Amino acid sequence: MEKEKKINASVEATSNKQVIYREPVRGSLKETHLGVRTSSERLKADEDSGAIAVKNLYLACDPYNLNLIKFSAQLGSPIPGYGVARVLESGHPNFKKGDLVWGMTGWEEYSLITAPESCFKIEHTDVPLSYYTGLLGMPGVTAYAGFFEVSSPKKGETVFISAAAGAVGQLVGQFAKLLGCYVVGSAGSKEKVDLLKNKFGFDDAFNYKEEQDLDAVLKRCFPEGIDVYFDNVGGKMLDAVLPNMKLRGRITVCGMISQYSLEQPEGVHNLMNLLLKRVRMEGFVVSDHYHLYPKFLEMVLPLIREGKIVYMEDIAEGLKNGPAALVGVFSGRNVGKQVVVVSRE
């Protein structure tokens, strides 16, 4: 009864702290493009409105946020992004008050989600709720679908992953190890390289920022070549990988974060290797694979509970620290999945 009263009071909240899109972004995202303000509005998800009113608990800092900011956000309004939230009021038959969900929401304390069909209901709460911004949310399905569905991996193959200490990369590496592959990752600091080798169980790792010759380091790590390259960065790393692919290797294009902030994308020079080595290079978008979510959970939840998958988060406390946390993802300041805590309820 006490809890019920608290939830009702929250729906009527007039104070709503928000991270808003303040200035148009061209090129790289800076903190000055975003602002934090407190607005006063009442959220209402009327019966049969199809909407849900939620209290946001955790927000994900995804590279995808930059795309959302540039192409979907409205100047002066809260920026959109993935998050974990508690339903306060529901006008949609699939959701009821008290449900926990993850999906597209707003960077603010309270949001009205007008198309909640795209949200996933959270059924398993014996794991930290913040995991649904990463390991058990969009980046987790990305790692699962990108590796198992797109990369066509086989036991004993060699796998290279860039941005390997991030939300997606750390999982792809662990999936590849569980399958019995030889796994190497690249990351942008010594701390991350140590994590890859000592926490996530990669066979080898290197700091790409300290290597003058990426071709040489790849040849050292993969004297026989690479079967699967899980590309999170594009650019110079992709170019260096191409001549190091094995015959009939696969390049899974998950992301190209090295290009997102450039006004002119860099060119790729070594594409001839696709032809000579019959390499399959294939991009994918996670939302095409969301139907696999139940199958993914069925596989990953027991692995988490048994400690066979470990996971690392980088936590920023409070919406006021959200802009800095998000900007940090584009220079590698995050160590593990960058999460913003809005409320621990």
Q: Can you give the binding site for ligand NAP, defined by CB under 6 A?
A: 62-64, 139, 142, 163, 165-169, 187-189, 192, 232-233, 254-258, 284-286, 329-330, 332, 334, 337
CA 133 to chain centre: 7
Kindly state the smallest distance separating residue 335's Cβ from ligand NAP, in Å.
8
Identity of the residue, 11 or 68, whose beta carbon is nearer to ligand NAP in the bound complex: 68
Interatomic CA distance for residues 328 and 31, integer angstroms: 9
Kindly state the smallest distance separating residue 14's Cβ from ligand NAP, in Å.
34
Kindly state the smallest distance separating residue 108's Cβ from ligand NAP, in Å.
21
DSSP alpha helix (H) spans, 58-189 = 64-71, 138-144, 167-179
Identity of the residue, 174 or 232, whose beta carbon is nearer to ligand NAP in the bound complex: 232
Kindly state the smallest distance separating residue 96's Cβ from ligand NAP, in Å.
30
Interatomic CA distance for residues 37 and 325, integer angstroms: 17
Interatomic CA distance for residues 316 and 204, integer angstroms: 29
Interatomic CA distance for residues 297 and 284, integer angstroms: 20
* C-beta of residue 119 within 8 angstroms of C-beta of residue 56: no
* Sign, CA torsion 154/274/277/193: negative
Identity of the residue, 35 or 203, whose beta carbon is nearer to ligand NAP in the bound complex: 203
Q: Of 114, 107, 119, 115, nearest to 16 (Cα)?
A: 107
Kindly state the smallest distance separating residue 146's Cβ from ligand NAP, in Å.
7
Identity of the residue, 257 or 300, whose beta carbon is nearer to ligand NAP in the bound complex: 257
Identity of the residue, 38 or 331, whose beta carbon is nearer to ligand NAP in the bound complex: 331
Identity of the residue, 45 or 242, whose beta carbon is nearer to ligand NAP in the bound complex: 242
Interatomic CA distance for residues 24 and 226, integer angstroms: 41
Identity of the residue, 168 or 241, whose beta carbon is nearer to ligand NAP in the bound complex: 168
CB-side neighbour CA atoms (13 Å) of 37:
12
Q: Which residue minimizes CB distance to ligand NAP? A: 166
Interatomic CA distance for residues 7 and 320, integer angstroms: 23
Give how far Cα 228 sits from Cα of 146, 184, 284, Å: 11, 11, 15
Kindly state the smallest distance separating residue 301's Cβ from ligand NAP, in Å.
20
Kindly state the smallest distance separating residue 116's Cβ from ligand NAP, in Å.
21
Identity of the residue, 277 or 284, whose beta carbon is nearer to ligand NAP in the bound complex: 284
Kindly state the smallest distance separating residue 78's Cβ from ligand NAP, in Å.
21
Identity of the residue, 109 or 231, whose beta carbon is nearer to ligand NAP in the bound complex: 231
At residue 325, the 3 state secondary structure works out as helix
Kindly state the smallest distance separating residue 223's Cβ from ligand NAP, in Å.
24
Q: At what angle do helices 167-179 and 190-198 cross, to 10 degrees?
A: 30
Interatomic CA distance for residues 160 and 173, integer angstroms: 8
